[in-house]
Amino acid sequence: MFPESSTWKSAKPKRFQQLVKTLDRFGPGKETSLASVFERLLPTIKRRSLIVICSDCFDKIDPLVTVLKGFRHASHEVILFHIVAPEEEDFPFGRPTQFRSL
C-alpha cells in the first residue's frame, strides 16, 4: 500500500506533500484491527516520531489503548482524529431500523 517506511522519515515539506497525495488516492476500506496493525508497526519506528491516526475507531478499546500507550512510552507524539459519520451524532432514525454492521 505505502512505500517502505524509511521513505517517509523526513521533516521536509516535500515529504508531507507526497504523503497527502498518497492518502488522497485511498478511500474507506474494509474493517481493520488498529491494535494489531500498530503492534506490528511500533517496533519498526526507530526515531521519535509524530504518529497521526485518522480512524472511526471501531475496534476493541483495551488493546487499542494499550498500543497507543506503547507509542507514548516510546516517546512518540500521537494525534488521533476520530472520524464520525453525521448519522452517528444525530441518529436520524425515527422508526425501527436494521443495521448490518458497525
Q: Is the dihedral of CA 40, 27, 13, 77 positive or negative?
A: negative
61 within a domain of the structure (yes/no): yes
Q: Mind listing the pLDDT tens digit of every residue in the chain (102 residues)? A: 444 444 555 567 788 888 888 888 877 777 778 899 999 999 999 899 999 888 888 888 899 999 999 999 999 999 998 888 888 888 888 888 887 776
Residue 19 contacts residue 8 (beta carbons within 8 Å): yes
- Say if residues 19 and 39 touch (Cβ distance below 8 Å): no
Q: How far apart are CA 24 and CA 26, in angstroms?
A: 5
> Does any domain span residue 68?
yes
Q: How many domains does the chain have?
A: 1
| Domain boundaries, position 40 | 33-84
CB atoms within 10 A of CB 39: 14
Q: Would 91 be classed as within a structural domain?
A: no
Answer whether residue 90 is part of any domain. no
Q: Please give the model's pTM, rounded to 2 decimal places.
A: 0.64
d(CA 28, CA 3): 19
